Chains A and B, each alone.
Chain A
Amino acid sequence: MNKRIMISLLSYGILIVCICFLPFFFPGPYHLHVLILTMMNIILASSLRLINLSGQLSLAHGGMMTIGAYTSTLLVMKLGFSSWLALLMAGFFPAVIACLVGFPFVRLKGIYFAIVTIFLGEMIVLTAGQWRSLTGGSSGIFNIPRPNPLVIPGIVNITFSSKVDFYYLAFVLMLISLLILYAVENSRIGLTLRGIQQTDSLAESVGINTAGFKVLAFTIGCFFPGLIGGFYSQYISAINPDTFGFLFTIYLLVYMTVGGAERFIGPILGAFILTIFPEVTRPLKAFVPFFFAAVLMVVIFFMPEGIAGLPERLHKAIRKLLEKKTNHA
Chain B
Amino acid sequence: MLEIEGLTKFFGGLAALSGVDMRVKPGDILGLIGPNGAGKTTLFNLVTGFLRPTKGRVIFEGKDITGKKPHSIAAKAIVRTFQATNIFPDFTVLQNIVLSCHLVPKIGLLETVFHTPSSRRKDEDILQRSQAILELVGLDTMADVAALNLAHGHKRILGIAIALAAEPKLLLLDEPLSGMNAEEVSETMRLIDRLWQSGITILLIEHNMRAAMSLCQRIVVLNFGRKIAEGSPEEIKGNNEVIQAYLGAGEYAP
Residues of A in contact with B (beta carbons under 8 Å apart): 180, 183-184, 187-189, 191-192, 194-195, 198-199, 201-211, 216
**A210 / chain B contacts, CB cutoff of 8 Å:** 71
Partner of A207, one of B74, B82, B112: B74
CA distance A187 to B165 in the complex (A): 19
Partner of A198, one of B75, B90, B123: B90
Say whether A209 contacts B71, CB under 8 Å: yes
Say whether B166 contacts A194, CB under 8 Å: no
CA distance A195 to B71 in the complex (A): 14
CA distance A237 to B204 in the complex (A): 66
CA distance A199 to B155 in the complex (A): 14
Segment with Cβ contacts to A, from B100-108, B178-186, B191-199, B222-230? B100-108
CA distance A189 to B102 in the complex (A): 10
A-B contact pairs, 6 of them (CB 8 A): A189-B113, A194-B91, A202-B85, A202-B88, A206-B99, A207-B75
Give the most central of B82, B90, B99, B165: most A CB within 10 Å.
B99
CA distance A10 to B88 in the complex (A): 36
Say whether A191 contacts B95, CB under 8 Å: yes
Question: Closest residue of chain A to B49, judged by CB?
Answer: A204
Given the known inter-chain contacts A187-B115, A188-B112, please indicate yes or no for A204 contacting B74, CB distance below 8 A: yes
- CB contacts under 8 Å to A, within B70-108, are 70-72, 74-75, 79-82, 85-91, 95, 98-100, 102-103, 107
Give the most central of B69, B89, B98, B102: most A CB within 10 Å.
B102
Say whether B113 contacts A184, CB under 8 Å: yes
Say whether A205 contacts B70, CB under 8 Å: yes
Tell me if B253 counts as interface (CB < 8 A to partner A). Answer: no
Partner of A206, one of B85, B100, B109: B100
**B69 / chain A contacts, CB cutoff of 8 Å:** 204, 209, 211
**B72 / chain A contacts, CB cutoff of 8 Å:** 207, 209
Give the most central of B88, B107, B119, B162: most A CB within 10 Å.
B88
Tell me if B114 counts as interface (CB < 8 A to partner A). Answer: yes
Contact with A along B143-171 (1 / 0, CB 8 A): 00000000000000000001101100000
**B163 / chain A contacts, CB cutoff of 8 Å:** 205-206
Given the known inter-chain contacts A201-B82, A204-B74, A206-B162, please indicate yes or no for A192 contacting B102, CB distance below 8 A: yes
CA distance A192 to B85 in the complex (A): 17
**A203 / chain B contacts, CB cutoff of 8 Å:** 88, 99
Residues of B in contact with A (beta carbons under 8 Å apart): 48, 50, 69-72, 74-75, 79-82, 85-91, 95, 98-100, 102-103, 107, 109, 112-115, 119, 123, 162-163, 165-166
Say whether A198 contacts B114, CB under 8 Å: no
Say whether B166 contacts A206, CB under 8 Å: yes
Given the known inter-chain contacts A195-B99, A199-B85, please indicate yes or no for A204 contacting B112, CB distance below 8 A: no
Say whether B70 contacts A187, CB under 8 Å: no
A261 to chain B, nearest CB (A): 13
A151 to chain B, nearest CB (A): 30
> Interface majority SS on A: helix, strand, loop or mixed?
helix
Say whether A202 contacts B91, CB under 8 Å: no
Say whether B75 contacts A202, CB under 8 Å: no
Say whether B113 contacts A187, CB under 8 Å: yes
CA distance A90 to B217 in the complex (A): 62
Closest 5 CB pairs of A and B: A207-B74, A187-B112, A206-B166, A206-B100, A207-B103
CA distance A205 to B102 in the complex (A): 11
Partner of B113, one of A183, A199, A211: A183
**B79 / chain A contacts, CB cutoff of 8 Å:** 205-207
Say whether A198 contacts B88, CB under 8 Å: yes
Say whether B89 contacts A191, CB under 8 Å: no
B71 to chain A, nearest CB (A): 5
B17 to chain A, nearest CB (A): 19
Say whether B82 contacts A202, CB under 8 Å: yes
**B99 / chain A contacts, CB cutoff of 8 Å:** 191-192, 195, 203, 206
**B165 / chain A contacts, CB cutoff of 8 Å:** 206
Say whether A207 contacts B86, CB under 8 Å: no
CA distance A209 to B79 in the complex (A): 14
Say whether A206 contacts B102, CB under 8 Å: yes
Say whether A202 contacts B113, CB under 8 Å: no
**A206 / chain B contacts, CB cutoff of 8 Å:** 74, 79, 99-100, 102-103, 162-163, 165-166
Question: Closest residue of chain B to A198, judged by CB?
Answer: B88
Say whether B88 contacts A205, CB under 8 Å: no
Say whether A191 contacts B74, CB under 8 Å: no
**B86 / chain A contacts, CB cutoff of 8 Å:** 202
Say whether B87 contacts A199, CB under 8 Å: yes
**A204 / chain B contacts, CB cutoff of 8 Å:** 50, 69-71, 74
Give the most central of B50, B90, B107: most A CB within 10 Å.
B90
Partner of B109, one of A180, A194, A202, A216: A216
CA distance A232 to B162 in the complex (A): 46
- Could you list 17 further interchain pairs (A-B, Cβ under 8 angstroms) beyond the known A184-B113, A206-B163, A207-B72? A187-B113, A188-B119, A188-B123, A191-B95, A191-B98, A195-B91, A195-B99, A199-B88, A202-B85, A202-B86, A203-B88, A203-B99, A204-B50, A205-B79, A206-B102, A207-B79, A208-B102
Say whether A198 contacts B74, CB under 8 Å: no
**A209 / chain B contacts, CB cutoff of 8 Å:** 69, 71-72
A223 to chain B, nearest CB (A): 13
A54 to chain B, nearest CB (A): 13
